[in-house]
Amino acid sequence: MSDSLDDLAAFLMHRTADPDTPEEERLSVFVLVEAYQEGDDPDAVVAALRTAALRYAGHRDYRPEWRPKLGANVAIADDSAARPAELPRLGPLRYATTDMLRIAYYETGPDDGAPVLLLHGYPYDIHSFIEVIPQLAAAGHRVIVPYLRGHGPTQFLSADTPRSGQQGAVGADVIALLDALDIGRAVLAGFDWGGRAACVAAALWPDRCAGLVSVNSYLIQDINAAMTTPIRPDLEAGLWYFYYFLTQRGKAGLAANRSEIAKVIWKRNSPNWRFDEATFQRAAGAMDNPDYVEVVLHSYRHRLGQAPGFPAYDKIETKLAAQPPITVPTVTLDGMADGNFPAGDGAASAQHFTGGRTHHQVPNAGHNLPQEAPDAFAAAVLEVRNLDIKDNAGSVGMRNSSAAR
């Protein structure tokens, strides 16, 4: 037994000692470690240990040499026989309580690191960032990845709270989470719904945002123009679910076919991404949230002017209707293989960014850019952090360049 593998076994035992670890997972790891220590079938057991540790790949103590070897017979042992390994999952989760929500989130990296919030979109979950997280943690960042309202284990505190999905709500949730975690400023990075939440927070609470990374640039909705400004017919076709969700048929369809609808959207959003069923199912679990249907429907109905907002967000929505500028350092990204949102050079949205801004086009990446091009997304977060440092030193001006990554 090598020292590195001994350390791997100890690492797994320590991680699964957390009281939030499911008993089945704890038992599985215990059996694996016991088999390793006794020297049983060493190749298969070591491969299973490496695979079991992958779910903690974002932890500060995880070592790259523990990754499964290519071609290894990867399996996870239980107390009877080997079984196929599952994809790594982010965990254990933590929880933060705000005025409206109990937000489930994953956290890793040094406690005193510069905070980064990674915000997922619809219909995705926190695993969009599973290969981004280790890179940011290794660079010294405290990385926090929440499930948005209506997704995963995140819950409303009261049955009486409206299940709003409007942009003001998801933006306010970002600030509420920072407050709950006693974080003054953080880099906000996201795509789709998460990118919009980050844009809202950056525009209205710039003192809380150390920098912004947004896929598809400026995502604050112009609701007044939403039902009167058409887009190209082929792109309208890709947004079929926007209009489907306006109907009672769409409501019934979403309730009955959450994951099936999501898979259709995934394929259209990312035509070049060959995701497998296990990858999809890992994210689809987030759609089992009891508030998922109501939150999703309200999001799309509100953005198209077909549902009113809720009073708690009226002041926020009034400010957003003015299309406020984003004044913090920003890096924007466009996937060059995005099936619904064609990549551009950033010029169309330039007027919305009045702080330092750099724009990149990312080859072969679709809409779920952090999962399809994790290196490019992680690099953007590190880049915007550097922009913030330079900005504080007074040396950053406008950046509207476009460069392939």
Asked whether the beta carbons of 193 and 299 are under 8 A apart, the reply is yes
The whole-number pLDDT of residue 228 equals 86
* Contacting residues for 147 by C-beta, under 8 A, at least 6 apart: 103, 104, 105, 120, 125, 126, 153, 154, 286
The whole-number pLDDT of residue 182 equals 98
Q: 279 pLDDT band (50/70/90 cuts)?
A: very high
The whole-number pLDDT of residue 169 equals 98
Each residue's pLDDT tens digit, 351-374: 999 998 999 999 999 999 999 999
The whole-number pLDDT of residue 37 equals 74
Give SS3 for 281.
helix
CA gap 86, 7 in Å, rounded:
22
Asked whether the beta carbons of 21 and 92 are under 8 A apart, the reply is yes
Instruction: Please state the rounded mean pLDDT for residues 130-151.
Output: 97
Asked whether the beta carbons of 104 and 126 are under 8 A apart, the reply is no
Asked whether the beta carbons of 322 and 207 are under 8 A apart, the reply is no
The proportion of the chain whose per-residue pLDDT surpasses 90, expressed as a percent, equals 71
The whole-number pLDDT of residue 404 equals 44
Task: Find where tokens 């048929």 sit.
Answer: 249
Q: Which has more confidence, 121 or 26?
A: 121
CA gap 149, 170 in Å, rounded:
7
The whole-number pLDDT of residue 72 equals 37
Q: 7 pLDDT band (50/70/90 cuts)?
A: confident
The whole-number pLDDT of residue 78 equals 38
Each residue's pLDDT tens digit, 62-101: 677 776 654 433 333 333 333 344 789 999 999 999 999 9
Q: 246 pLDDT band (50/70/90 cuts)?
A: very high
Instruction: Please state the rounded mean pLDDT for residues 135-161.
Output: 97
Domains and CATH numbers, the chain: 3-84 (no CATH), 94-404 (3.40.50.1820)
Sign (positive/negative) of CA torsion 21, 67, 87, 178? Answer: positive
Longest dimension (CA), the chain: 70
The whole-number pLDDT of residue 403 equals 44
Q: 368-385: b or e for each residue (b if 16 or more CB lie within 10 Å)?
A: bbbbbbbebbbbbbbbbb
Q: 31 pLDDT band (50/70/90 cuts)?
A: low
The whole-number pLDDT of residue 156 equals 97
Q: What is the pTM of this model?
A: 0.78
Q: 3 pLDDT band (50/70/90 cuts)?
A: low
The whole-number pLDDT of residue 208 equals 98
CA gap 260, 108 in Å, rounded:
32
Each residue's pLDDT tens digit, 302-355: 999 999 999 999 999 999 999 999 999 999 999 999 999 999 999 999 999 999
Continuous segment of H or E residues that includes residue 264? helix 258-269
